[in-house]
Chain A
Amino acid sequence: MSALLETRGVWQRFGGLVANSDVSISVGRGEIVGLIGPNGAGKSTLFNLIAGVLPPTQGSIWFDGEDVTRMPAAMRCRRGIGRTFQVVKSFETMTVIDNVIVGALVRTTVMREARRKAHEVLEFTGLAARADVLASDLVPAEKRRLEVARALATEPKLLLLDEVLTGLTPTEAQTGVALVRKVRDAGITVLMVEHVMEIVMPLVDRAIVLDLGKVLVEGKPADVVRDPKVIKAYLGDRHAVGA
């Protein structure tokens, strides 16, 4: 079976800065893939290219057997790509349930049906008790979960998570990890950008390490963390000696 998501020789230049150079990755159906790398590696850029915030300078992006390189974000959502934002973007003046209903309305225009779906998703993400609270009144960890809930309501095939586990307390992070597993068990493929290695590594099936805009290493998490190139990229030359 072909990969669910594929980037083929993707380049992104911002003026003189090359954020992604010749990045080719693929994500198979049902996988949890971690996209990691030190700051400035080009993770967020690649993430935004996949989500459809901007088109790549060069190369193509394929989703579910279709070229989506130039497709706008809203259309990609309809095709089955859901995403969260690194800096949360809740609809602050709307209640939690209403936030999620917006997502559910991609699949149905019947309000009763969208509302039912939204409740189901809130149950799934553990936000049910907060349904009628304004999004602006949520604590940061809840806002992260709301981002996930909203994206899940669009019934994605692929869920893109942008640092959903970063900046949480250890307990909150564990709840987050459990939620990501649950999402995958529900049959949704997950691609997550993260830079907290110790949380992501046990969670993902496969890790792709970006450095300086290029794919550095790709493989099983256990192999990736031992790879001298990865250690060098994160910690510098000295630590790579003897690895």
Chain B
Amino acid sequence: MDKDFAARRRRDLIIAAALATIAALTPLFVKDVVVQNILILTLMYAGLSQSWNILSGYCGQISLGHALYFGLGAYTTELLFTKFGVLPWFGMLAGGVVSALIAMGLGYPFFRLRGHYFVIATIVIAEIGLLLFHNWEWAGAAMGITIPIRGDSWLKFQFLRTKLPYFYFALALCCLAWFVTWWLENSKWGFWWRAVKDNPEAAESLGVDVFNSKMGAAAVSAFLVAVGGSFYAQFVSYIDPESVMGFQFSLLMALPAVLGGIGTLWGPVLGAAILIPLTELTRFKFGGSGRGVDLIVYGTLIVLISLALPRGLLSLFSRPKKTGAAR
């Protein structure tokens, strides 16, 4: 049985390496910039959703306010870059740390809330963050920040002629989030998180530090999402509150995981691979007049998934477990 388990973990790692290699080679064949763009976004959202999944899937604390951490990552990086000339790489780290700290600060009061109340709190907090940035003059308020061109290099993390470096960074981010999840899945934290999700009272009786488990999950999750936000800011080179902290980002982090299989290792990647291209294509197809069509797509998918496959698409592939009485 132990061997089965070790073999399964090794198999996951090998599949991930194979997929990452294939993904890394796609730009050799895909030269179309529009398609490359879609690939970059797909990888980014896969990574973001994977990070969201740590707090909301594994630890069961459903957040619909992760746009806050995404925006904080973007703003921290760009404020440091435009106001103090700090390289985006350091800004990225700083954004991660700021987000992790804020996630824990918010967790302190809000992890006492359960179920729907917690979800509502996350939505409200993200909206407050959005409003604050709307009115913060120094941070550009509603006008946002245009990121000045300082060069075409990895050092400045700006690329003008090609999108490929962004593609590879998004791939790396996705791999990082996946690997962190893979690693944590078989650790004390991973087990504690799942126990907290399934039954906090029982977890407590088994010596699990429920509160700090949630705090840890929130910190890791927020850190990775902020790195994604910081990447996105460099990628689009212009940010304003709506474009990095809007509610749609919270949705786009949650949906792939829910679609693919919440609280699973592969769910977010699978979900993102289906959902993001679909969203981008509908948006591309319907253009300006189609604003909201992507929302119809999300809505339909949520309804279908919750009716037909509440455990996500991944449950189609899982081997049916032996059930019934023993011996």
Interface of A with B (CB < 8 Å)? 51, 53, 72-75, 77-78, 82-83, 85, 89-94, 97-98, 101-103, 105-106, 109, 111, 114-115, 119, 127, 129-134, 137, 139, 142, 150-151, 153-154
Among the listed A94, A106, A119, which residue makes an inter-chain contact with B206, where contact means beta carbons less than 8 Å apart? A106
| Cβ contacts A to B, 26 pairs, < 8 Å | A73-B204, A74-B208, A74-B209, A77-B204, A77-B205, A78-B207, A82-B205, A85-B205, A90-B199, A93-B194, A94-B194, A102-B191, A102-B195, A102-B206, A105-B192, A106-B207, A109-B187, A111-B187, A114-B188, A132-B4, A132-B321, A137-B323, A137-B324, A142-B326, A150-B202, A154-B206
**A224 → chain B, closest Cβ, in Å?**
29
Q: Decide: A91 and B201 in contact? CB cutoff 8 A.
A: no
Smallest CB-CB A-B distances: 4 pairs? A106-B207, A77-B207, A89-B202, A91-B198
- Minimum distance in angstroms from B229 CB to a CB of chain A: 30
Give Cα A153–Cα B198 distance, bound, in whole angstroms.
Answer: 18
Identity of the chain B residue whose Cβ is nearest the Cβ of A122 in the assembled complex: B1
Cβ of B307: which chain A residues have Cβ within 8 Å of it?
Answer: none
Q: Please give the distance in Å from A123's CB to the nearest CB on chain B.
A: 11
Closest residue to A131 on the B side, CB-wise?
A: B1
Q: Are B1 and A119 in contact (CB under 8 A)?
A: yes
CB distance from A142 to the nearest CB of B (A): 6
Q: Contact check: which of B5, B191, B205 meets A105 at CB < 8 Å?
A: B191
Is A130 in contact with B207, judged by CB distance below 8 angstroms?
no
Q: What residues of B have a CB within 8 angstroms of the CB of A101 in the complex? A: 191
Looking across the interface, which residue of chain B has its beta carbon closest to that of A106? B207
Task: Judge whether B322 is part of the interface by a CB distance below 8 angstroms.
Answer: yes
**Would A154 and B207 be within 8 Å (CB), given that A93-B263, A105-B188 are in contact?**
yes
Whether B162 sits at the interface, judged by CB under 8 Å, is: no
Please name all residues of chain B whose beta carbon is closer than 8 Å to the beta carbon of A75 when the two chains form the complex: 207
Query: Which residues of chain A are near B326, meaning CB under 8 Å?
Result: 127, 129-130, 139, 142
Chain A residues within 8 Å of B32, by CB: none
Residue from the list B4, B198, B205, B321 in contact with A94, Cβ < 8 A: B198
Cβ of B210 within 8 Å of any chain A Cβ, yes or no, is yes
Residue of A nearest to B327 (CB): A129
**Selected contact of B194 from candidates A98, A119, A127, A132, CB within 8 Å:** A98
Contacting residues, chain B, for A78 (C-beta < 8 A): 207
Distance between Cα atoms of A139 and B203 in the complex (Å):
21
CA distance A133 to B204 in the complex (A): 23
- Specify which chain B residues have a CB less than 8 angstroms from the CB of A102 in the assembled complex: 191-192, 194-195, 203, 206, 208
Known: A129-B327, A132-B1, A132-B321. A72 touches B204 (CB 8 A): yes
B325 within 8 A of A: yes
* Residues in B293-327 with C-beta less than 8 Å from chain A: 321-327
Q: Are A94 and B195 in contact (CB under 8 A)?
A: yes
Decide: B323 and A85 in contact? CB cutoff 8 A: no
In the bound complex, how far is the Cα of B1 from the Cα of A109, in angstroms? 20
> Which of B5, B206, B209 makes the CB contact (< 8 A) with A150?
B206
Tell me, in angstroms, the Cα distance from A93 to B202 when the chains sit together: 14
